[in-house]
Amino acid sequence: MTAPMASNRRSRTGGSGAVWSLTSNRLRPNGWTSADAAGLPILPGLLRWNEVKNRDIDHAIRFTTDVTSTHHLWPARHDAGSRRSRAYPPMGARFRLRASYHPAGLGPAAMAVIRAMKTYGLVLADNGSPWFFQGEQNGHWPISLIEDLKQIPASKFVALDTSSLRVTNGSGATR
């Protein structure tokens, strides 16, 4: 009985070939996925507790939504949508929080995230819960911050055309 069990354990393995150099702007080849449907690196789009605590968020934030297009646009390299229509957002779409959005009564950490959403926006990176953005795993995230951010309505975001920022198709570098 021990031998089949040991053999069974050996067959329960997994792996990933998605390797990222965070010192390069090179994107994966078009059509390649990664740990997310858009084929983008996850780490650069995560909110990190230290940057929120220090009120210094200088990047777009990755997010998911439930219904997406079967298309993708730069910087995304892949798509996994369920709708052929371009009326649904493609992987790689960027949304920015409207400058006119001025919430009341939110804490300073939430306001730092809101500033980043107004400046750098959100990048659609995967299918999942609607307008769900992620942060690093960290025990310091305050529940009050999460509750504050849940109050931002999706209708306060606007889609952006970022194609003019692209330097080349195979690079994540921007102008």
Query: Do 125 and 37 meet the contact criterion of CB atoms below 8 Å apart?
Result: yes
pLDDT at 5: 43
Looking at residue 19, what is its pLDDT? 76
Give me the pLDDT at residue 140, please: 96
Torsion of CA 25, 31, 37, 40, to 10 degrees: 0
The Cα–Cα gap between 29 and 6 comes to 38
Instruction: Report pLDDT for 21.
Output: 81
Which segments of 52-169 are extended strands (E)? 61-65, 94-97, 122-127, 132-133, 157-160
C-beta neighbour count of 88 within 10 angstroms: 17
User: CB-hemisphere CA count at 13 Å for 128?
Assistant: 14
Which residue in 135, 134, 124, 125 sits closest to 157, CA to CA?
Answer: 124
What pLDDT does residue 13 have? Answer: 65
pLDDT given at position 20: 73
Per-residue pLDDT 10s for the chain (175 aa) are 334 444 455 556 666 667 778 789 999 889 998 888 999 989 999 999 999 999 999 999 999 999 999 999 999 999 999 999 999 999 999 999 999 999 999 999 999 999 999 999 999 999 999 999 999 999 999 999 999 999 999 999 999 999 999 999 999 898 8
pLDDT at 15: 62
Note the pLDDT of residue 34: 86
